């Protein structure tokens, strides 16, 4: 068995891409998209027809409405390939607006339902800001499942679990990028990788206290990082790394295990709004990466809008 097949024995493998033609070969159960991945896919000639069809089907709609349809259009194509769920991200410009995030999530789910896909197959991706977490809490109460993204720190993970969200995406690679630059080092061994250690800590805490929120490691830079988290509930992996895993013959060992996590000496903590904001602010990496992540996704949403505007 190659490393990808072995990994699938312990972990649900998810494809991290909008480029749905490349995912078939790896048999992921779910798929995740984000604004940057959708922009990248729409910019490829082979997906241009999806944009053209979306515009032709909704001639009177404004650019923002067409963009929502396009995000769902990609998601619907993905759902025709994967048996599980697709994650579609809410506009990052709404990251600090509870009501607008709720309204956008309801709208995206309504578009999926119009296209024939029930809400059980959709995860609405929301930034793990205090406001994003509050919006997700409300959405979960009405049966809209959320994937809390741009998650770089333990306080964000604790607040998400206490809010009862379906799934979190703790990032590995962006934490690794920040520490590499900060520490002036070339690389970290997987066992010392700050991104890997962050996900392990969150996983241990969730399993120790029996939180049902699923942990999906995201943002990987190497096969080593992915395999260091073998056993995590889910891992979302780019097509490039899925390809490398499928050609890798090494033996894959389970690194995360719920029984082992329950044995760990871990203290329960709670974060109200003041403590959450203070704790995230105390973590320079999380504060900078969360802010930067929102800026990049917002900028890519603007680029997507101009692409749509030009295509009209």
Nearer to ligand E4P, 27 or 173 (CB): 173
Among 10, 13, 16, 67, the residue binding ligand E4P under the rule CB under 6 A is 16
Rounded to the nearest 10 degrees, what angle do helices 130-141 and 98-114 cross at?
A: 40
CA within 13 Å, CB half, 195 = 32
Under rule CB under 6 A, residue 204 binds ligand E4P: no
**How buried is 4 (Cβ within 10 angstroms: 0-12 exposed, 13-18 middle, 19+ buried)?**
buried
User: Are 28 and 165 a contacting pair, CB within 8 Å?
Assistant: no
Among 6, 11, 149, 225, the residue binding ligand E4P under the rule CB under 6 A is 149
**How buried is 207 (Cβ within 10 angstroms: 0-12 exposed, 13-18 middle, 19+ buried)?**
buried
Give least dist CB 171 to ligand E4P, A.
6
CA–CA distance, 177 with 195 (Å, rounded to integer): 9
Residue matched to tokens 């049966």: 143
Q: Which residues pair with 237 in a beta bridge?
A: 15
Nearer to ligand E4P, 73 or 170 (CB): 170
Q: Supply 219's token pair.
A: 């943002």
Give least dist CB 214 to ligand E4P, A.
13
Q: Which segment (43-51, 168-176, 184-192, 197-205) binds ligand E4P by CB under 6 A?
A: 168-176
Among 119, 145, 174, 255, the residue binding ligand E4P under the rule CB under 6 A is 174
Give least dist CB 34 to ligand E4P, A.
4
Residue matched to tokens 């250690």: 197
Which residue lies nearest ligand E4P, judged by its C-beta? Answer: 219
Q: How many CB atoms lie within 10 A of CB 115?
A: 13
**How buried is 120 (Cβ within 10 angstroms: 0-12 exposed, 13-18 middle, 19+ buried)?**
exposed
Q: Which residues pair with 32 in a beta bridge?
A: 16, 87
Instruction: Give DSSP secondary structure letters for 21-78.
Output: GGTGGG--SEEE--HHHHHHHHTSGGGHHHHHHHHHH-TT--HHHHHHHHHHHHHHHH
Give least dist CB 174 to ligand E4P, A.
5
CA–CA distance, 158 with 162 (Å, rounded to integer): 6
Q: Which residues are designated catalytic?
A: 125
Q: Which segment (64-72, 112-120, 136-144, 169-177) binds ligand E4P by CB under 6 A?
A: 169-177
Q: Write the interaction track for ligand E4P spanning residues 25-54; mark x where CB under 6 A is met and - where it is not.
A: -------x-x--------------------
Under rule CB under 6 A, residue 236 binds ligand E4P: yes
Per rule CB under 6 A, count of chain residues that contact ligand E4P: 11
Q: Write the interaction track for ligand E4P spanning residues 97-136; mark x where CB under 6 A is met and - where it is not.
A: ----------------------------------------
Among 6, 128, 129, 219, the residue binding ligand E4P under the rule CB under 6 A is 219
Under rule CB under 6 A, residue 175 binds ligand E4P: no
Among 164, 173, 224, 258, the residue binding ligand E4P under the rule CB under 6 A is 173
- Which residues of the shown chain bind ligand E4P in the complex (CB under 6 A)? 16, 32, 34, 149, 169, 171, 173-174, 218-219, 236
């Amino acid at each position: 068995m190659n490393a990808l097949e072995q990994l699938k024995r312990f972990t649900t493998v998810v494809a991290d891409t909008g480029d749905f033609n490349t995912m078939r070969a790896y048999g992921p159960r779910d798929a995740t998209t984000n604004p940057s991945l959708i922009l990248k896919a729409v910019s490829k000639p082979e997906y241009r027809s999806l944009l053209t069809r979306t515009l032709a089907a909704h001639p009177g709609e404004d650019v923002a409405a067409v963009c929502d349809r396009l995000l769902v259009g990609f998601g619907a194509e993905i759902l025709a390939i994967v048996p599980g769920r697709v994650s579609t991200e809410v506009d990052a410009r709404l990251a600090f607006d509870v009501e607008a995030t709720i309204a956008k999530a309801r709208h995206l789910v309504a578009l999926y339902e119009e296209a024939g896909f029930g809400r059980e197959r959709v995860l609405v991706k929301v930034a793990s800001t205090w406001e994003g977490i509050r919006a997700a809490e409300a959405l979960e109460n009405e049966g809209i499942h959320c994937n809390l993204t741009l998650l770089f720190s333990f306080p964000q993970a604790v607040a998400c679990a206490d809010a009862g969200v379906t799934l979190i995406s703790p990032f590995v690679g962006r934490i690794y990028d920040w520490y590499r630059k900060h520490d002036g080092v070339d690389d970290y061994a997987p066992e010392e990788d700050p991104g890997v250690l962050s996900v392990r800590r969150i996983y241990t805490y969730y399993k120790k206290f029996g939180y049902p929120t699923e942990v999906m490691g995201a943002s990987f830079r190497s096969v080593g990082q992915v395999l260091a988290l073998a056993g995590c509930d889910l891992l979302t992996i780019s097509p490039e790394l899925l390809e490398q895993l499928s050609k890798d013959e090494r033996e894959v060992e389970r690194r995360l295990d719920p029984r082992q996590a329950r044995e760990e000496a871990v203290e329960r903590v709670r974060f109200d709004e003041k403590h959450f904001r203070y704790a995230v602010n105390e973590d320079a990496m999380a504060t900078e990466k969360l802010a930067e992540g929102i800026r990049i996704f917002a900028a890519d949403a603007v680029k997507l809008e101009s692409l749509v505007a030009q295509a009209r």
